[in-house]
Amino acid sequence: MIVKHLEDVLGTEADVDTEGWNSRRLIFKDAGMGYSVNDTIIKPGAVLDMAYRNHLETVYCIEGAGEITDLASGETHAIKVGTIYALNEHDHHILRANQGTHMRMVCVFNPPLTGREVHDETGAYAASD
């Protein structure tokens, strides 16, 4: 059994901080679960253009508010606490946190992240194998 607390991850290698987001990687590939789980802060006003061509991702908002635009359809969906989205088609999307508030998201990736990934120039993470 693996039991951790967010505090065990803060300030370690698994606490990945970038300009627009801070991803605290709680469960990753080494755990052997077949998925990874992050507690991620999207910083206030961040605008993130992403397309995870190597991963599927489900994201559940537990704090804050913002919106997501599906660049295939052009549709924009509001995000608030309790909103969940699944990028089941490796969807190219833009995620925005509202000005003045962060969003806190629980992010599940399949296949799992190795722990240190940051986005490449296309908004993807490298394949882990």
Note the residues at the interface with ligand 9YT (CB under 6 A). Answer: 21, 23, 38, 40, 50, 59, 95, 105, 107
Least distance from ligand 9YT to the Cβ atom of residue 105, Å: 5
Name which of 1 and 75 has its Cβ closer to ligand 9YT: 75
Residues 6 or more apart whose CB falls under 8 angstroms from that of 101 comprise 44, 64, 65, 66
* Residue 97 Cβ vs ligand 9YT, minimum distance, rounded to whole Å: 10
- Which CB, 38 or 98, lies closer to ligand 9YT? 38
Structure tokens at 82: 């309790």
Cα distance between residue 80 and residue 6, in whole Å: 22
CB of 2 to ligand 9YT, least distance (A): 18
Q: Which residues contact 86 (CB under 8 A, 6 or more apart)?
A: 56, 57, 58, 59
- Closer to ligand 9YT by Cβ: residue 1 or 88: 88
- What Rg value do the Cα atoms of the chain yield, rounded? 14
Closer residue to ligand 9YT, CB minimum distance, 40 or 101: 40
Please give the residue whose beta carbon sits closest to ligand 9YT in the complex.
23
| Cα–Cα dist 3/1, whole Å | 6
For the bound state, the minimum distance from the C-beta of residue 60 to ligand 9YT, rounded and expressed in Å, comes to: 10
Distance CA 109, CA 125 (A): 11
